[in-house]
Every structure is written in structure tokens, then in C-alpha cells.
Amino acid sequence: MGVDAGSADSVVLVRSTPVAPDPRVERAAGALAEAGFRVTVVGWDRGWKLAAAEDRPGFRLVRIRVPAPFGRGLRNLPGLLRWQVALLGWLLENRARYDIIHACDLDTALPGLLAARACRKRLVFEIFDSYADAFRVGPLRGLTRRLEALAASQADAVILADDVRRAQLGKVRPRRLAVIYNSPPDIRLELEGRGEAGRFEIAYVGLLDATRGLSTLLEVMARRPNWTLDLAGFGVDEEHFIGRARALSNVRFHGRVDYPTALRLMAGADVLVATYDPAVPNHRYASPNKLFEAMMLGKPIIVAQGTHVDNLVERHECGLVVPYGDTAALAAALERLAAEPDLRRALGAAGRRAYEAFYSWELMRARLVGLYRELAAGGS
């Protein structure tokens, strides 16, 4: 079934977040809508009681409300299973509304695969993070790895966030494979964020999780009252980091923010920090949107050794690399950047060149739309 002005394939993009926000999902949905596909996004409202449905530019957002806590590892399994059953029910009930299911991660791929086979639909499996390596699945790690391999082998197409993640597929050879980096749209010139004159400003916007090096960053901030940190986000360790941030007068905690606000906060910083714990297996395949946001904005970034993203930073000479959890090393890297504005500009400019040449959203959007046009033209 082809895509043209008169007859466009319909896509349902499913994600186990409330999409409030979820930049990668929203970018993909918008790009497909602009390319002529009819798009619905289905998300999971775990308890925030958000709107059951919203009209977004180019697509309809639907949220399935299944209460479940965050950050409890395998204790979340009953809630996850209820979500998957509810999602499968929605997909079966609304089978006439879509031709292609775009499932993000394993927790939507399994109901997506069942619905695709039952309703003779095509399935795109996008792996943001490997469940076996990223989440607290304990004794179920082997099972989750086999299920991911099954979904990848049965899908009509697989999307990875970085070429290095091919290793996580093992021996699976997908029918179609696309690598689409976590690149933001190029809106640098639209941003007006500026820090306070005379102060060295740092920004972290993302998950508030103990494995993101935030304890080390806050230790450094406690010793450098003349620096400022903009901290924003949410996550399983949110309450802990809120308490620590509020105890420091040079840390501005913004909580959950929308994506334009997140970009403005980063645009106003002198340096961005994204230090992930390499002890987490999935972090060794990390290709975080924070890196590509820094590139797009022309900002230097500090990352941790042994997380794959350090290879990208060193290859493109767009930031500094420090050992994870090393307070002295992080402080030294920040002190160097604070003292050398020319170095900051050089690192930021190198990142911007890399974004334009290899990682821009225009390049990624072309890959996504090209994959979908191939699916639409060739069926399964």
C-alpha cells in the first residue's frame, strides 16, 4: 500500500510513557505526519491523571490509564502486564485505524507483535533501550533477551538508536534495519536562553536517577558556590535529588519541564553534563539525546568513561571525558572549562560541525521516512 495524497497508510506509535514529553516519539510522529502518514500515538499514563486524549501538531495522542508505580524493578511486573493487556485490547479494538504498528521497546513490542499477527498489520520495532541491559529485571534477564530477539526477528523493520547497538541483537538479522540517532531538530537560532553575566553555568536536564552521576555533580556544586546548576527532570530518585538540590543555593531545580523549556535551559548554560554509570550494561551502548542536543546547541559536554558516548565525544572533540563517580576529576574538568572560554567555544563548534555532518535531525528524518516509504510500497 503506497503513500500518496489520496491514500496514506496509518501508523499507531505506541510507547510506555505518558508522552509528556517524549521528544523522540513526538519527533517521529511529526515527521511521519509531515510525510503524509496518518499518525496516532498511544502512551501509558501510570498515575499522573493526564488528559486521556490530545491533538498534537500532525497527530492524535491517546493515553491508556493503568496505575503503576515507578522504580520498583520486578515489583512493577503486575502493573506492566496490566498495561500490556490494555494496550493489546486497544490495538485489537482499533484495528481499522492503522496499517503499521510502531512499537517502542519490548514492553510495547510484545502486544504489538500479537496485534500485528492477529490483524495482519506491519510491525516496526524501535529499541530505545534493551530491556535485558537497561532495566532491573534480575532473574528475567535471559527471558527478556530472548523475547527482544523474537520481536526483532519477527518485525518488518527494526530501528536502533546507535549503530553500536547492533551487538545487542546478537545473531538476529532483521528484515529491515535503520539506525536513527537521538538527534533534535535544529532550532539553535530560535533559542534565546542566556545565563547570568559573570557566572559559570552548568545544566543537566533528564532522568533523576542515581546512575546518572548526579550525586557527584551535586557534590561539586556544594564546593563551588560561585557556579550555577540548572537541574530539571523527573525519575525514580526524584525525591532524593530534590532534597539535595534545595539544600544548595546555587542549584535551580525546575522539576518536570516541556521540551522547549529543556532546550532553553541547556542553551543558557556554558557546559552540559551527562555522566552515566558504565556499570549499567545498557550505558555501554549509550547514545543519549543529551549529546546531540549539546552538538546542535554548540555546547561542550562532559561524559563518563566506558559508556560508548565517550568514544563519540573523543572522536568529534566536542567535550571532556571523566571517570564516573570521580568528584575530583569532574571538578577539574568543570574548572578547566570555567577558566578557558576559548576551549568551550572550540569544543562547542566541533560538536556543531559533527551535528551538521553526521547527526542532524534532517538526516535522521530522511532515514525514518525512507524506511516507512519502503514499508508502505512493499508491504511486509
pLDDT value at residue 240: 95
How many Cβ atoms sit within 10 Å of the Cβ of residue 213?
A: 23
Which tens digits make up the pLDDT trace of 323-344?
999 999 999 999 999 999 999 9
One domain, residues 157 and 194: no
Residue whose cell numbers read 532534597 = 243
How many domains are contained in the chain?
Answer: 2
Judge whether 265 and 232 are in contact, CB under 8 Å.
yes
Whether the per-residue pLDDT at 153 is higher than 90: the answer is yes
Which tens digits make up the pLDDT trace of 22-81?
989 999 999 999 999 999 999 999 987 899 999 999 999 999 999 887 665 566 778 889
pTM over 0.75: yes
- DSSP 8-state assignment for residue 170: T
Judge whether 309 and 287 are in contact, CB under 8 Å.
yes
One domain, residues 213 and 144: no
Boundaries of domain holding 278 = 188-359
One domain, residues 122 and 96: yes
Question: Strands 100-104 and 122-127, how do they pair?
Answer: parallel
Judge whether 122 and 100 are in contact, CB under 8 Å.
yes
pLDDT value at residue 2: 36
One domain, residues 241 and 351: yes
pLDDT value at residue 197: 59
Can you tell me the distance from the alpha carbon of 379 to that of 303, in angstroms, rounded to the nearest whole number?
42
CATH of the domain at 36: 3.40.50.2000
How many Cβ atoms sit within 10 Å of the Cβ of residue 93?
A: 10
One domain, residues 207 and 315: yes
One domain, residues 305 and 367: no
CA distances from 363 to 100, 179, 181, 199, 211 (A): 22, 11, 9, 36, 31
Can you tell me the distance from the alpha carbon of 321 to that of 341, in angstroms, rounded to the nearest whole number?
18
pLDDT value at residue 73: 59
How many Cβ atoms sit within 10 Å of the Cβ of residue 144?
A: 18
One domain, residues 59 and 138: yes
Take residue 366 and report the three cell numbers written for it: 530522511
337: closest CA among 228, 197, 200, 198?
A: 200
Three-state DSSP at 253 gives strand
pLDDT value at residue 139: 65
Which tens digits make up the pLDDT trace of 50-60?
999 999 999 99
Report DSSP letters for 6-62, one per residue: S---EEEEE-SS--SS-HHHHHHHHHHHHTT-EEEEEEEESSS---SEEEETTEEEE
Whether the per-residue pLDDT at 266 is higher than 60: the answer is yes
In a domain, 5, yes or no: no
In a domain, 1, yes or no: no
Take residue 60 and report the three cell numbers written for it: 492524535
One domain, residues 198 and 305: yes
Whether the per-residue pLDDT at 134 is higher than 70: the answer is no
Mean residue pLDDT across the chain: 90
